Structure 1
Amino acid sequence: MDSHDTVKLEYALANGNYKTRKLAAEALEQIAKPCSIPALLKCINDKVQNVSIACLNALEKISPNDELIKAVVNKRFNWATNVREKQAKFEANKGKKYTIYRWERASKKSFDRVKEQLKRPMR
């Protein structure tokens, strides 16, 4: 592929819908040209998690020896792992019922005590 195709893919990565952005990131991963690294770095904070992960995979394949890229990729993959773990935990506890205890207020408790004392006959 020539650089003209890479420019088209970078444009699709920046301006397409989420499926187009994901496919563009995967295509840039297959091309593996270092000139597309800035466009991929811009898209690692995408709103859609699959697009972010596709960009991270592409960055990891394009420049496996660059320490800065390694640090960014590791940090973002840890973020993606944490998000997936939270979602799995939420799904696992979705049907679980929790018992919520209501604490008695001291003023209500003392009021009830006085009321009970008034009901008793005086000696």
Structure 2
Amino acid sequence: MNALSHKIIFFLFKLKLLQPSESTINFWLQSEDTDKLEYAVTQGNYKTRKLAAEALEQLAKPFSIPALLKCINDKVQNVSIACLNALERISTKDELIKTIVKKRFKWVNEIREKREKFEANKGKKYNIYRWERASKKSFDMVKERLKRPIR
């Protein structure tokens, strides 16, 4: 694909008619077109946002920090993690960004631990003792009476 086709893809992407492919994002990465990547981080679907965040991580340009800060609270956890990784790589000197990234990673790890604990306990069966219901008791009594022979 040439540069013109990638410009057309970006135009269609801005019109929300098309999502850029991985090859298009790689082209933007190689041409260091951070404006398009930042737009993809904020406006694309979850796959596009994740790929764009990873591309911005590889570029490591400090002026893409505001776009990455917007996407750290993404609904999709993989996108959020990709943005955090990018921020961690880009902002090696900024203490505020380091603090945000550390707290966010701690939160993500807690979510992962809860999910793993849930998956580990998924197959276990627990004996839950319930009080005897009157309807169940009367149903069992009728069932026993029906088993008796008729005289």
Structure 2 length-normalised TM: 0.65
Q: 1:1-12 maps to which residues of 2 (within 5 A)?
A: 5-12=33-40
2:44 maps to 1:16: yes
Gaps of at least 5 residues in structure 1 are 109-123
Amino acid of the residue matched to residue 94 of structure 1?
Answer: K
| Structure 2: stretches of 5+ with no match in the other structure | 1-29, 135-151
2:59 to 12, 27, 31: 31
Rounded Cα–Cα distance in structure 2 between residues aligned with 1:64 and 1:53: 17
3-state SS of 2:67 partner: helix
Residue 25 of structure 1: CA displacement?
A: 0.3
Q: TM-score, normalised by structure 1?
A: 0.79
Give aligned pairs, total.
105
Aligned-pair CA distance for 1:99: 1.1
RMSD: 1.8
CA separation in 1, counterparts of 2:116 and 2:63?
37
Distance 1:64 1:71 in 2: 11
Could you tell me which residue of structure 2 aligns to residue 113 of structure 1? none
Q: Measure, in 1, the Cα distance between the counterparts of 2:118 and 2:71.
A: 27
The match for 2:99 is 71
> What corresponds to 2:147 in structure 1?
none
